[in-house]
Amino acid sequence: MARNARVIEEKLYYSISEVALMTDLEAYVLRFWEKEFPMLRPRKSRGGNRTYQVKDIEMVNRIKQLLYVENYTIEGARVRLRSLKPTQERRSLIVDARARTILAEIKRETQEALRLLE
């Protein structure tokens, strides 16, 4: 697992299309979530393109977990993210989001490799 964590951290920034592929979300969903969740603020390049860091992808995965798995509303997920204290529950959510991010990066790299083989 540590080896995979190194792999994902080698790249400092990811485009919105890479993050969409990694998280199985559409780019418009990511843009919408930026408006709804103040804790999700990827940087923008000089050209205005979003650049996601690993911490941003982990936040996307946390939001996705709350909305799609735990069935929170957007408002409920926003309140939940704000209310998380440094407890075992928060650490568990962070670890889960990191694992999903690592798996998503492996998926992205595998799909990229398959495209090269075509």
**Where in the chain are the domains?**
2-108
CA gap 75, 62 in Å, rounded = 14
The residues with which 14 forms a beta bridge, in sequence order, are 52
Better pLDDT: 87 or 112: 112
For 5-19, how does the pLDDT look when each residue is reduced to its tens digit (9 = 90+)?
A: 434 446 788 999 999
Please tell me the predicted confidence (pLDDT) of residue 118.
79
Torsion of CA 101, 104, 105, 108, to 10 degrees: -160
User: Is the pLDDT assigned to residue 82 strictly greater than 60?
Assistant: yes
- Rounded to 5 degrees, φ, ψ at 66 are -65, -40
pLDDT > 70? residue 93: no
Q: Which pLDDT value is given to residue 7?
A: 40
The pLDDT value given to residue 105: 78
Compute the mean pLDDT over every residue in the chain, rounded to the nearest whole number.
Answer: 82
How far is Cα 26 from Cα 113, in angstroms, rounded to an integer?
Answer: 21
CATH of 2-108, one of 1.10.8.190, 3.40.50.460, 1.10.1660.10, 3.30.750.24: 1.10.1660.10
Statement: the pTM of the whole predicted model exceeds 0.75 = no
